[in-house]
Amino acid sequence: MESSSKGLLTQVTQFWNLLDDLAESNPEGYEKFIQQQLKEGEQLCAAPEPWLCLQTRILKPKEKILFINLCQWKRIPAPQSNTHPVPLSIGRPEDRSETSDVYTVIDVAYNPDVLQAAEKDQVKKDQLIQMAMKCIEEKLQFTLSHSYSITNFRIKGSIQRMKQNLLRMQTDPTDLREKMKKELTLEQISSTVSNPDDFQLLLPKDEVSSKTRCLIEEISSTESQVEMKEPAYELKIVADQNEKPLKIEIKVELPGINSASLCDLSVSEDDLLIEVPEKYRLYLNLPESVDTEMTTAKFIKEKATLIIIMPVV
């Protein structure tokens, strides 16, 4: 652990030395680099935007309805050219239920330029869809039905949930110092597609040779999942005398948890997610739309119980 910290400190020191050298030798290049980092920081913080939602089926290992949320996200880089891999990111599969129906949701993100180029081209759109499905099969060891339909809604679930899911991805580690060297030498970030209209999507064929370079570049991998239990909970809708819903109260029992700081709570207008790393996970579709700004939560330590109160809008 100590040697790892020292290695990281060395990298950070080298990084700052490179910046100092650049500021002295090339002030214009230094300013350009800093502005680029600020711009990229804004893009990294931006939420993904829904593009379309597909409905198909998982055939193996267990047959189930599958919804695939395709979204555009500035965090995903564009391909460097029409012959380079198309970067995409796949979130973790999430199982949900509505009444008696159980289904799975998987989020897939592309760079906005890629999706805009396919917006009015049905062939490219279908290629992107098939590419996403193929990557899901390879990454998650699923067998999917490649017969799909585009739903009349653009996203299954909420944007907040989709962003949180995609942010849990594990990106490939990058040697920061090597990246800096390359950027300072080129004095620019690697080029992306300059004209989306000239973009040509190439989808690898099923029987492609193993020596052929795959044109799918997945920049993330789903986390190795620790088995997490669904905690016991009680959901109650409080209504007025006219039976108009006023608020939703949820009590969640979390045995073994003694602090609210261990609980990760996310609430959107229509769903709720509670996670305690490596212990508990609870996802609920809310029966009514709620006011997220007025939502409150408290943790009763003596009973290891989390209570969430959400006013209905």
pLDDT at 265: 85
pLDDT at 214: 42
pLDDT at 161: 81
Instruction: Tell me the C-alpha distance between 253 and 232, whole Å.
Output: 6
**Structure-token match 């996203």, residue found:** 155
DSSP state of 275: E
pLDDT at 4: 52
pLDDT at 245: 92
Give the tokens for residue 87.
């970067």
Instruction: Tell me the C-alpha distance between 214 and 157, whole Å.
Output: 31
Whether residue 172 contacts residue 219, with contact meaning beta carbons closer than 8 Å, is answered with yes
- Exposure string of 153-190, with b = 16+ CB inside 10 Å and e = fewer, is eebbbbbbbbbbbbeebeeeeeeeeeebeebbeeeeee
pLDDT at 40: 66
Helix (H, G, I), strand (E, B) or coil at 201: coil
Burial status of residue 119 (CB atoms within 10 A of its CB: 0-12, 13-18, 19 or more): exposed
Please report, in tens digits, the pLDDT of each residue of the chain (313 residues total): 455 555 666 766 776 777 777 777 888 877 887 777 777 666 666 778 889 999 999 998 888 899 999 998 888 888 887 777 888 888 889 888 776 678 999 999 999 989 988 888 888 888 899 889 999 998 888 998 888 888 898 888 887 788 787 876 544 333 333 433 333 333 332 333 333 333 333 333 333 333 333 444 455 444 334 567 889 999 999 999 998 999 999 999 999 998 887 888 888 888 888 888 888 888 888 889 998 888 888 889 899 999 999 999 9
pLDDT at 120: 81
